[in-house]
Amino acid sequence: MASCRACGFWSIRGATICVVLGADLLGLNFAWQPASSSAQAPVAIDDLEGTAINASTIHERVLRRGGKERQDKFRLDWNIRFISKETIHASIVATSYNARGTHSKKNEATVNLTRPKETKSRGGGHMLWVFENGVLTFLRTFQGGRMKASFAVTRNSAGFTCSANASWPREVGVQSIMLKSFADKQPMEILNEKFVSSSCQVTLGGQASVQ
């Protein structure tokens, strides 16, 4: 596959996703400004080798299953270790809180950056991790719609700080996010999603750099 620094195309069920790094990545616009000091320079992937990001994002969702709508609170816990400039190890724990109880599912894998990978989870799709200008981005497609999570890392006097966000963008012409439940593998739709809060921490050599 050609380098994602230029443009990578990959197709799922007739929908083509174009990843254009350095200009725009699914809504993330990067404006380059000359840095006057190392504190202002974008964090490079080499700077993060041996570190880890520990982050959580919390969301409120409206779902539809079996023709019935219901609400839940959804939490994602991320642990991402930077092994090399090409490789990370990502562990993601998804937890759903609703009237029927609490359900959790953990997925983890060692992945190569900028290389799309097919997955059978949640009904199938593709996944991609990319790092550019201090931002690590995770992209995931479903049967309908997609997920996007971003982790922006910057420098400060203590080392590094970070912020995390996640969202479920819809495809053009598709009214909901269509996937399968991780609890019972039954079809479901995400009709609405609201970001509630997040936390993000960079650890360096086993010690917290910044909360």
d(CA 152, CA 80): 13
Report whether 8 contacts 1 (CB < 8 A).
yes
Average pLDDT (137-151) is: 94
Any idea where the domains of the chain sit in the sequence? 41-210
83 pLDDT higher than 50: yes
Tell me: pLDDT of 201 over 80.
yes
Contact between 142 and 190 (Cβ < 8 Å):
no
Q: What is the pLDDT of residue 125?
A: 85
Residue 10 pLDDT class (50, 70, 90 cuts): very low
In this structure, the number of other CB atoms found within 10 A of the CB of residue 18 comes to 11
- Tell me the whole-structure pTM to 2 decimals: 0.77
Predicted local distance difference test score (pLDDT) of residue 205 = 61
Find out whether 181 and 188 touch, Cβ atoms under 8 Å.
yes
> Percentage of residues in the chain with pLDDT exceeding 90?
55
Which stretch of 33-42, 99-108, 170-179 has the lowest confidence by average pLDDT? 33-42
φ, ψ dihedrals at 173, nearest 5°: 85, -5
